[in-house]
């Protein structure tokens, strides 16, 4: 994914940043020195102040301090999706619920991709970050995915428009 959220002066040298001792596992659970972080206000503060610097390094910048965090996949996990009627004549929207965040986001269906292991991803936070769908959210989304039999491709149809699901290139 192209980097979009950078800290000025640290684009080319994330190694100058100190490690925080924070680790985010593949399920989007946050840990500090091996202990799970459970306080919602702390998680929201970290996520709100999260940046992505060159090389795909995640950094928390808070109160004038900058430090790196270790992330197995992505710190953003879609925990649930709802297909709802929009109140502003757009038609339908797919609303994303992100783990560890109270605010909901509307899916930009053009950002849907399928990664290794057939795991769906999209972008969140105004397109700044990649988010992985949890298993329950994946099953919800899958119920709206259709297959084009002529081309053997998959797509999501929303408001009369088809959004093809792009398969991510396999990592080497």
Mean pLDDT of 90-110: 94
Note the pLDDT of residue 96: 98
What's the pTM?
0.85
pLDDT in tens, 64-88: 889 999 999 999 999 999 999 877 7
**Partner residues linked to 172 by β-bridges:** none
Q: Which residue has the higher pLDDT, 126 or 6?
A: 126
What band does 114 get if pLDDT is binned at 50, 70 and 90?
Answer: very high
Average pLDDT, the chain: 88
- 14-71: in CATH 1.20.1250.20: no
Cβ neighbour number for residue 164 with a 10 Å cutoff: 14
pLDDT in tens, 118-150: 899 999 999 999 999 999 999 999 999 999 999
- Contact between 167 and 113 under an 8 Å Cβ cutoff? The reply is yes
Strand runs labelled E in the chain: 18-24, 30-32, 35-36, 50-53, 57-62, 65-71, 76-85, 92-98, 104-106, 113-114, 120-124, 129-133, 145-148, 153-158, 161-164, 166-167
Write down how long the chain is. Answer: 172
Rounded (10°) CA dihedral 156, 128, 60, 42? -50
- Of 10-24, 44-58, 75-89, 90-104, least confident by mean pLDDT is 10-24
**Residue whose structure tokens are 């928390």:** 60
What band does 14 get if pLDDT is binned at 50, 70 and 90?
Answer: low
Percent of the chain whose predicted confidence (pLDDT) is above 90:
73
Q: Is the pLDDT of residue 116 over 70?
A: yes
What band does 169 get if pLDDT is binned at 50, 70 and 90?
Answer: low
């Amino acid at each position: 994914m192209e980097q979009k959220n950078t800290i000025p002066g640290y684009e080319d040298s994330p190694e100058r940043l100190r490690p925080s001792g924070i680790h985010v596992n593949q399920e989007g659970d946050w840990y500090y020195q091996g202990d799970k972080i459970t306080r919602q206000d702390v998680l929201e503060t970290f996520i709100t102040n999260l940046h992505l610097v060159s090389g795909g390094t995640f950094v928390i910048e808070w109160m004038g301090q900058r430090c790196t965090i270790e992330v197995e996949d992505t710190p953003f996990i879609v925990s649930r999706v709802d297909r709802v009627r929009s109140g502003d004549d757009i038609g339908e929207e797919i609303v994303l619920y992100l783990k560890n965040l109270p605010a909901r986001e509307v899916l930009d269906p053009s950002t849907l991709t399928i990664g290794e292991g057939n795991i769906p991803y999209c972008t969140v936070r105004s397109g700044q970050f990649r988010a992985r769908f949890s298993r329950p959210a994946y099953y919800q989304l899958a119920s709206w995915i259709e297959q084009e039999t002529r081309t053997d491709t998959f797509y999501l149809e929303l408001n009369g428009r088809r959004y093809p699901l792009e398969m991510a290139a396999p990592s080497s």
